[in-house]
Amino acid sequence: MSIYMVTIMTGLITWINTGMDEGFYSRWWRSIYIAWPIAFLLIRVGAPRLQLIAEKLVK
């Protein structure tokens, strides 16, 4: 889930902010490299808590 989200989000944001030129793919890879560990940890830590909140809201 984290790599899917990070790949799409960093690609879109990199494209919007800097455009599609010869350095796009290196900038995109750098963004993925930085963002993926952060997203992975946030999902691992936050997902169980968010699931509990969602269950309480649904009840």
Question: What residues contact residue 36 under an 8 Å CB cut-off, 6+ apart?
Answer: 2, 3, 6
Angle at 55 between CA 5 and CA 4, to 5 degrees: 10
Q: Could you tell me the pTM of the whole model?
A: 0.74
| pLDDT tens-place string over residues 35-44 | 999 999 999 9
CA distance 17 to 38: 21
| pLDDT tens-place string over residues 11-49 | 999 999 999 999 999 999 999 999 999 999 999 999 999
SS3 46: helix
